[in-house]
A and B are shown apart, each in its own frame.
Chain A
Amino acid sequence: MYGYSGKILHVDLTNRKTHVERKPEEWYKIYIGGVSMASRLCWENIEVGCDPLSPGNPICIANGMFAGTPVPVGGKYGIASKSPLTGFIGDSLSSSWFSVALKRAGWDAIVVHGASNDWVYVFIDDDRVEFRDASHLVGRSAYETEEAIREELNDDQVRSAVIGPAGEKLVRMASVTNDSRQAGRTGHGAVWGSKKLKAISVRGTHGVRVADPEMLLKLCYDITQTAQGPYTQKYRILGTMANVLNLNRLGILPTRNYQQGVFEYAELISGEYLHEHYHVKTIACAQCPIACEQMSRVKDGPYAGAMTGIDYEPLYAVASNCGVGDLRAGIKTVDICDRGGMDAMSTGVTISWAMETFERGIFKKEDFKCSKYPDGFEPYFGNADAVVTLAEMIRDREGIGDLLAEGSKRASARVDAEKGTETWKWAMHIKGLECPGYDARGLKTFALGLAVGTRGACHNRTAAYDPDIQGEVDRFSVDETRGRLAKDTEEYAAVYDTLPLCKFIRRCFTGKADRAGAWPSIAKLINATTGWDFDYDAVDLIGERAHTIKKAFNIREGWTRADDHLPWRWMHEPMKEGASAGHVVTEEELEYMKDLYYEAKGWTKDGLIPKEKLIALGMDDVAEEIGV
């Protein structure tokens, strides 16, 4: 096989043993890599029904066929476990050298089982595996940990995926970090922390071979050149931060815990403002010719010195969504999250829930006592230092941070149980995962895409905002096309997440990002890498299979139709102002769209998957277990 080694490494932390699993080539052709292969490995290796923070929940890391080759933006890996936030599949992606090192070490995937009694890190040195003491790394930030391991192993090409202090403390929104990039969402860091696994470090010294290198180089050279042109301009110049002003104009920039879709200080937190005042350097992930990460530094004020890469999604969550119109505080908060090893999106949206709960008089000043403010503080919307401080308190589980570290779903449930309140009505999550930076009341196809998302409220797993924002459909109403659109856009995204390729390259094949524009070129890349014979249909099937295995996982863990929901606010409180004013997604609209969606997927009205559907996808064993 080219593109793969055919070997999967199983690491048992409980018994400190390893073994190698080999899968047939047919299995690789179905599950491919990235989130699909990682989710499939999770399906195979989990103790069904286990607590996500128990030893029965495996960590499954799957590489892609393109890692370590010159295929642009192909240096990515997928990671899957049962999510501590949702209790369903938690599948994330991260980029860069960790995946490349893993490829060169000769592993297609890693499955980590059990749990260690003492803090440990696993060093994969080509085909040798070592369990190393990590007690001296405990408490150190994600970036420091990566660097300390490189020093300790005396090789600057060792690459590590690590957790920061948040993961150690089982903060449910903790992330896994490698090469300063994050597998950010669904709480993988807490799963690692529950196993006392501080890091997986890899040295891979073998060269990577592909089936047809001359063809692959020719294809890649052209894509690399195209990626310097207009199709990626947004990402190269402003990065994803270009979204701030666009979404504000559409009236869907989440503001003050999604109470508004228009932020009066949007200019001050825009990509344009960031670029002019705080941008210091643009950097790239592994084998990426685009380079979108806008490294930004605070030069003055109380947060001077804070520096990290700023993207739209983390930023909206801690800025407009908390009423903060100062990028210096925004950069500082994201910096705390990145170094502490936690998802800035879920962190910001949980903080905004706490702020609204305070403004409504349910939380009091004295609830916010901490070492920095011994008498407490008042986290009203717009209090920048409250956001910074709460991020630190969540990371450290200090004071009320201990409650917020559970995420908005659990925190609101606990408060409501204690006080008899209804704070859950403004807890902005789906299935326990906090919402992304688009207010779905003004994007109805997207509302469906989010509601049915297998990992909860995620803008990366569904691209259903596209037909809404591009004007292909009326974004304020629903009609019979929405089920098909939600299916098509989520399976489209799943192709990229499975190969995996970064979606920012999607227009660089032919100028058109749709299936007809991209799939034939992607098929050529697959074939030149692996020697397989993939065509348009085979590429398209990658996405449906990836989505199906995740859905099957959720069904086996107890998913029912009622889990495909939206936050109460989006269904009951109309937008107050801006271009989306007056809109909600009604119960009737949502249930209607869910019917359409399940039908488009070929599922039952209850959202379950017929046996014959699974068998047609080559998933006979899955059909046995959950098919109806």
Chain B
Amino acid sequence: MPTSTSKYRYVANDPTKCVGCQFCEYICSYTKTGEFNTYRSRIRTVRAEEILITSITCRTCEDAPCVIACPRDALSQDPVTGIIHVDASRCDGCAWCVEACDFGAISINPETKLAEICDQCEDLEDGPQCVKWCPKEALSLTTPDQRAQRARRKLAVEEVIGPR
């Protein structure tokens, strides 16, 4: 299991809440392209088994392998947010970043031939649109450490009071 060991926030999915409706993909693709098209979404739902549903998007790894892999230095990581930026003038769609990503979170746009990576809608006031739209509140913008804190608290409650 690859880990990102990141200090940065990313859009995390709670698979116990996710129902696989794919609204996140509709809204992401519309936000980025003006069209509804799950092929162009930067967040992808995964239905690995009939009852195992989650979604994957950029994990904002520290020392991100995609940035290291890029042979043209087209990718860079924001030191504050950890968001990966793609320099369109340098990217030639070679897809080395796609291969380097342990999470399958990067895709190449077949028309523009540019790498596409979740940017957490950093230019929008109300933040990631997928998080805003998720009808089951399965998505949240969080860090691995925040998730761990929540998990510990949930466990503590369950051990004392019992499962909710």
Contacts and interface: CB of A to CB of B under 8 A. Distances in A.
A150 B110 CA distance: 20
A610 interface: no
B35 A209 contact: yes
Q: Which of B29, B33, B34, B51 has the most CB of A within 10 A?
A: B51
Contact of B37 (A104, A280, A289, A307): A104
A430 to B, nearest CB: 34
A284 B24 CA distance: 13
Interface in A281-305: 281-289, 291, 295
A208 B36 contact: yes
A27 interface: no
Contacts of B26: 69-70, 287
Contact of B30 (A217, A283, A288, A291): A217
A291 B33 contact: no
A69 B37 contact: no
Nearest to B132: A221
A286 B40 contact: no
Interface stretch (B14-22, B68-76, B115-123, B153-161): B14-22
Interface in B6-51: 19-23, 26-27, 29-30, 33-40, 50-51
B21 A213 contact: no
B50 A291 contact: no
A208 B30 CA distance: 9
Interface string B98-124: 000000000000100000000000000
A610 B10 CA distance: 64
B22 A307 contact: no
Interface string A554-578: 0000000000000000000000000
A285 B45 CA distance: 13
B127 interface: no
A228 interface: yes
Interface residues of A, number: 34
Contacts, number: 79
A285 B136 CA distance: 14
Contacts of B21: 284-289, 291
Interface string B43-87: 000000011010000000000000000000000000000000000
A206 interface: yes
A282 to B, nearest CB: 6
Interface in A352-367: none
A291 B136 contact: yes
Contacts of B133: 70, 221, 224
B41 to A, nearest CB: 10
B39 A157 contact: yes
A396 to B, nearest CB: 23
Given A224-B135, A284-B20, A287-B23, A207 B36 contact: yes
Q: Which 5 A-B pairs have the closest CB atoms?
A: A207-B35, A289-B135, A207-B37, A291-B19, A281-B51
Interface of B: 19-23, 26-27, 29-30, 33-40, 50-51, 53, 110, 133, 135-136
16 contacts: A68-B37, A69-B26, A69-B36, A70-B36, A206-B37, A207-B34, A207-B40, A208-B36, A281-B51, A283-B19, A283-B53, A284-B20, A284-B21, A286-B21, A286-B22, A288-B19
